[in-house]
Structure 1
């Protein structure tokens, strides 16, 4: 398909038509940067979808975290069912990067588990970009990390055509070079099997497999088959088979790389010896020569990304290839940065943290200096790759406002007619009694309350106090275990308690129309948790309820409070005027749940990632069975994109294994 087709029962309303027209015309006029300043609940995602359809350009949507990326991916899949909507985030269920701590002489080996399903989605995204135009990729900050050269990825693909000359051995050899594994027992993603004249290939970017039938030295037939039943779904005249991994290289590139690595190893080894670092020199030589042997024999080695500069033919310090390079084949592609006030600082900060860790590995002989070039983009490199870009946020940061200039498009009017909640300031004297009264008032209307405290202890004490007042309350902060944190949010959505007390509830993804009251304690304490952006964003949590209100408990009006109040009052006046002119009566949003089945992969988890299984207490007799069940739950949590839970279950699994080795567990 060569064009985007938006499917929705809704038509643009409120400020959406004006915003869609302005952003579209801005891009067509060659405006490089624009900002969509859309208030909470104004339908920014729907506006983005309409702009994409009208411009008909391949689009990268950058999201600040995996959870929001998953929600956007599901929504855009619904908007564009006939187009290629792809998902590109980090493929690690858990990840402990390689590191060295000189103070304690501690080397931490890389420890990770790749989520094969997410790896498949990443490969599907890059393959789609190389084969069609109607592509939307929803990505996390992972899109600025090294994934290998798109030129090598494309050049290493295998072309099979009915009637062409090819032997079974040459096909298998080519498949192995592009990182496919031969496995006659398990026909999994990235594997191939050979049975008689048939070679079945399970490409990691497709739901179905490819079967190549070779008679003698000629390709007789090519089929698309079901990977489980083996049933033929279609006969093909030709097919392209793309690599099973992003890091691939030709034999010539690999040989050239090996020679360069050897030369750099000799140079670095001599440098370390000259500095009197005999141990570091010995360590580097041993580790690197092992990797070179692997590269020579198999064309691959663990940590091959640390040698990617040699494979790609890059110069020292030159930026690596990333997802944006796959988009570069289209000189008209579009970028949208969702929640840009969070996403852009993330992009800006990635390089320095990565550099500091790797510099230690280089200094102490664990890696060659080339490891420093396996890195995320610097911010200025990211800027140079940015095409026509739309920043999307209710509170855009200084960067977006500066680079957008006069091209800031406001989307203040909500299609539902809802207006920004009224904000009241109450002195801190008697604040708790006042808050209890307001909570009771909203509880009678069937509404819930969010309370923001400044410290964990305050959150816990408030929760206990409200409970004593017969107000069902829970608290939430970073000390709460991942499993319990998700369960608390689930119960709050279900209305099992009335008040949630937290520290920074912005990052929890709370979007509940039943929240009628947001109370912010210590609102006049200037800082990250009480700046203008935070005050406007958290106040928006009450903007989906027609009777929503916000109370700031403060004894003075800080600059942040003044600016936030002025901005919210300005927006509310515009919204009320629009409603009056168009005879609109605001109504509380009835939010529809987003379908994430494709990402959850039919696991035994609920919509919020809670595992329904509980494990028995480990004993000497059942400990191996408990281990197996725990590992299965870890994989289920990862497939459901609940990475924090997956990491916790991994830790529990390690503890059980250590217990078994030591003969632990209760005797029964």
Structure 2
């Protein structure tokens, strides 16, 4: 007819779509109980009821092919005397085939994607890049980091799945459910722009000398000057520089060589009255976002890291970057790492960098020369056009707004449900629903809060053990056991 009602499984209400011939005339929210419609919608996003759209006829052929490969693999294991592996793969595949036949899917169905796609063994998988037009332009941001990741994906995936195949957990076809190889990735891309302050050899070679430098910033800010100071009393000197920056309301970034050094330095500065913390791979992702926000808001004055204070961090409040033991040549102190870390001070009009080193390594020399070269061009441009460097300043409200997703995720962790789902339309909420009070002490919420308490206690226990405070760790362990035994 001219009207279609759709009730998605992921909402508590339906949609009514009105047609005029072959054109959609309007769509509304629909209350499935009362049949009342809400206000007309400006747009409507519908998701498929199932991700598995292979027809029953095709599925029969696919399942037959899977079973044939299973027979070959079972025979292969038996020839090698691997009876446990042969039994395991037979049980696994037989169960999966029955699940697919009855339900249309099974756990780990992606490992059978080669059959579903009707691909040949070794043929590249389909990916989102196949949806782009033939002449699309790809921009690879921070290419010196991104391209090695693309290269490594195939090898990492294959090494993991080879074990699954060799021990009879998966058919060899699982190896074809994989990322693209770097060669396949290159073949798909018609044209590409690599974007990086420190491009790698591959990007420079591919560019064939055609490189565009973007040195001038709209704010007129300059690359920071770099100063070298001796290692002998680097902590005391750093403390003095931190006090100078604190007096001006500026923030400080410090990089160390190890996580332990970062934690110990953070403890020392905290005891000295500095609002300080550390940031490294041991810190959870959401906690990292919170730490960076607190740094910008002034709740933290000094942030100490190892290898995370680099690309992608835009912190206009940071005026000083201090690199400890800058002369310890290695991947944390090579040209790219030093340049990227020093660049974190380039968002402030008084930005500066201190290298603590007893000798000047080749990487340090290259970084200093490159920064000075850029500064000369930036100063010349600003002088010619009468530009005065100005830092970008944002209010606390703007900073909080930028990281609003953090608050949502933290609330989700506390209440155990997604807060980003589409809310029920207000026009369909009945008066009975509106008048019904919520019960903050409901059993479901109590259980969720109990789980949150357990997570917090375990985190405190692990931290106490790290700090070698075993008495506190033992007390926390006993509290955790008591909560678990009480059913919370």
TM-score range, shorter chain: 0.7 to 0.9
Shift of 1:420: 0.3
Larger Rg: 2
In 2: Cα distance, 1:220 partner to 1:461 partner: 67
How far does residue 427 in structure 1 lie from its aligned partner after superposition? 1.5
User: How much does 1:393 deviate?
Assistant: 1.5
* Superimposed CA distance per residue, residues 427-484 of structure 1 (whole angstroms, 9 cap, x where no aligned partner): 2122222222222222221111111111223223322332343333222333345565
Residues 351 and 378 in structure 1, CA contact (< 8 A), matched pair in contact too = yes
User: Quick check: 1:559 aligned with 2:366?
Assistant: no
Of 541, 544, 551, 2:344 maps to 541
Q: 1:211 to 1:336 in 2, by over 3 A?
A: same
Shift of 1:546: 0.5
SS across alignment from 2:332 = helix
Question: Where does the alignment leave 5 or more consecutive residues of structure 1 unmatched?
Answer: 1-161, 164-196, 616-620, 634-654
Counterpart check, 1:606 vs 2:407:
yes
Seen in structure 2, the aligned counterparts of structure 1 residues 301 and 488 have a Cα distance that, compared at 3 Å, is: same
TM-score by length of 1: 0.58
Matched, 1:250 2:51: no
Aligned pair 1:459/2:290, yes or no? no
**How many residue pairs get matched?**
431
* Alignment partners' CA distance in 2, 1:588 and 1:242: 44
**Contact 1:316-1:370 at 8 Å conserved across structures:** yes
Q: Deviations over 1:379-414 (max 9, x none)?
A: 111111112111112212221111111221111000
Q: Pairwise CA RMSD of aligned residues?
A: 3.8
Q: 1:227 to 1:325 in 2, by over 3 A?
A: farther
Determine the structure 1 residue equivalent to 2:419: none
* Maintained 8 Å contact 2:414/2:449: no
Matched, 1:589 2:392: yes
1:513 corresponds, among 298, 303, 316, to 316
Which one of the candidate residues 248, 256, 277 is aligned to 1:445? 248
Determine which of 83, 90, 93 is the counterpart of 1:285.
90
Which residue number in structure 1 is paired with residue 6 of structure 2? 200
CA shift at 1:300, angstroms?
2.0
Q: TM-score, normalised by structure 2?
A: 0.78
Structure 2 unaligned runs (5+)?
A: 416-440, 454-476
What per-residue deviation string (whole Å, max 9, x for no partner) do you get for residues 503-541 of structure 1? 123369542211110000110111111111111111111
**Partner of residue 526, structure 1:** 329
The answer (yes or no) to whether the contact 2:8–2:49 under 8 Å persists in 1 is no
Report matched runs for 1:115-514 at 5 Å: 199-202=5-8, 211=16, 224-226=27-29, 230-231=37-38, 233=40, 243-244=48-49, 246-327=51-132, 330-480=133-283, 484-506=287-309, 510-514=313-317
Q: Is the 8 A contact 2:151 2:182 kept in 1?
A: yes
Query: What secondary structure sits across from 1:318 in the alignment?
Result: coil
Distance 1:440 1:566 in 2: 29
Query: Higher helix fraction: Structure 1 or Structure 2?
Result: 2
**More divergent stretch after superposition (272-281 vs 453-462):** 453-462
Whose relative contact order is higher, 1 or 2, with alpha carbons under 8 Å and at least 6 apart?
1
